[in-house]
Amino acid sequence: MSLMLRIKRVPTVVSNYQKEEAEEGARRAGGCGRNCFNKCCLPGAKLPLYAYKRADSIANEKSLVGLEDSEAPMAFLDSLVLGEWEDRMQRGLFRYDVTACETKVIPGKNGFIAQLNEGRHLKKRPTEFRVDKVLQPFDGNKFNFTKVGQEEVLFQFEASGDGEAQFFPEAPIDAENSPSVVAINVSPIEYGHVLLIPRILDCLPQRIDHESFLLALHMVVEADNPFFRLGYNSLGAFATINHLHFQAYYLAVPFPVEKASTKKTTTLGNSAVKVSELRNYPVRGLVFEGGNTLEDLSNAVSDSCVCLQENNIPYNVLISDCGKRIFLFPQCYAEKQAMGEVRSELLDTQVNPAVWEISGHMVLKRKEDYEGASEENAWRLLAEVSLSEERFQEVKALVFEAISCSLSDADTASQNPSEEDVEDQSAEDMLAMQQGSHTAIIAGTHDCLVIQ
Ligand SMILES: [Zn+2]
């Protein structure tokens, strides 16, 4: 199979003057002077464009049989994300140096990861909206991503029109078509921490829809790197900006939730998406995998998210394992917090249990919490985030109704879990990941074909 990624060169600017003239044109056309990512400043602006190939069958390993002779997974998207991210670090666009933050794996069987991040706490954009409503209308007066500087935006990300992955180093930004973009998070919690903002100029509120979730899943599939995870926080589950966005970053160790065992609950009839429940993990959650197509997997999760949103149940989502496994956690920490039900020693840490913390990467704000971090403390905090068993089963029933699974199948499986329904994440896989963590994050090479 030939290489799928192609670079199409656009005519090079031969003189800096040419470039300045283009920028001047933008200013004359009514730029607001801040070089923002809104219609005022976009005319004439260019950004790299990564167009991914629509894949139909990546989630289902069986359907990949026959493609085994293909090239090794390419690391091009990784290189693009990290190359651009490091460029912004050189340019001093981050609020602090995340690579200087101390990180350790907490001793114990779960392998919780603790990071001391004092800068994020002090310099983060404040949450400015109520936390008791999962769905809230977009408010253009509050901070949103059209207000970021263009220098914070790394590239445009979209489906390729002609079935081949493509890369354009300098593509015009078509404001009328509202591009999806990848931007830096100026308050990073790890190396390569970026935001995926679907159809940025449409100013969508923070709520999952089918198309945006599929875009996010495609990004993880394209990165094809087990260290690259993508997460989502709903409002009420510690999203801090009400403008649709996903977060992603690289961490070269397995997340505790990825190692947790699961109990198979059901397989969805039409799509063959398998749904499991986490076992022996402090936060109760569902795990989605498989499916006849990537879109099947994506739809099963986004249907579930839509159901939770409509029922005003805050939740977090983690996409891991190169897009093969998706974790969904309904949560109630903010609600408990508001009702005064969270113990003061947990509140004192000021840790906001969003998707990363729930997955086992604890971002701690105080040195004493970092130094005293233990598996027991991490577990205790996360247990407060989880729904009770009773409530979780109610919510699961709601979700299953929404994704119209066979109830009889679900009932028999959950009441009577047989040995074969219980799975541990393959020890071999985890070992491979741990060994990988001692090497560079990107293992592959740049496989791209340049079309002159
Ligand atoms: Zn502007």
Residue 269 lies in a domain: yes
Residues 6+ positions from 394 with CB-CB distance below 8 Å: none
Residue 317 lies in a domain: yes
Q: Please give the structure tokens belonging to residue 209.
A: 């829809």
Q: Which residue has the higher pLDDT, 290 or 31?
A: 290
Instruction: Tell me how many domains the chain contains.
Output: 1
Q: How far is the CA of 198 from the centre of ligand 1 (A)?
A: 19
Residue 177 maps to which CATH number? 3.30.428.70
Q: Please give the structure tokens belonging to residue 272.
A: 């063959």
Report the distance separating Cα 349 and Cα 407, nearest Å: 41
Q: How far is the CA of 29 from the centre of ligand 1 (A)?
A: 11
Q: Please give the structure tokens belonging to residue 127.
A: 């949450």
> Whole-number mean pLDDT of the chain?
82
- Is 193 annotated as catalytic? no
- For residues 158-164, give the mean pLDDT: 85
The helix (run of H) or strand (run of E) holding residue 328 is strand 325-330
Residue 452 lies in a domain: no
Residue 46 lies in a domain: yes
At 124, is the pLDDT very low, low, confident or very high (cuts 50, 70, 90)? low
Report the distance separating Cα 215 and Cα 200, nearest Å: 13
Instruction: Write down the catalytic residue from 193, 243, 245, 361.
Output: 245
Q: How far is the CA of 40 from the centre of ligand 1 (A)?
A: 4
Residue 14 lies in a domain: no
Residue 7 lies in a domain: no
For strands 113-116 and 103-105, give the pairing.
Answer: antiparallel
- Residue 57: per-residue pLDDT: 46
Residue 412 lies in a domain: yes
At 349, is the pLDDT very low, low, confident or very high (cuts 50, 70, 90)? confident
pLDDT in tens, 372-423: 999 999 999 999 999 999 999 999 999 999 997 544 444 444 444 444 456 6
Cβ(189)–Cβ(363) below 8 Å? yes
Rounded to two decimals, what is the model's pTM?
A: 0.83
- Residue 104: per-residue pLDDT: 96
Residue 204 lies in a domain: yes
- The answer on pLDDT for 3 being more than 60 is no
Range of the domain at 139: 41-58+75-445
Residues 6+ positions from 47 with CB-CB distance below 8 Å: 150, 153, 154, 155, 156, 170, 171, 173, 179, 181
Report the distance separating Cα 286 and Cα 169, nearest Å: 39
Q: How far is the CA of 139 from the centre of ligand 1 (A)?
A: 17
Cβ(363)–Cβ(259) below 8 Å? no
pLDDT in tens, 82-114: 999 999 999 999 988 998 899 999 999 999 999
Percent of the chain exceeding pLDDT 90 equals 64
Q: Write out the residues surrounding ion ligand 1, Cβ under 5 A.
A: 32, 36, 38, 40-41
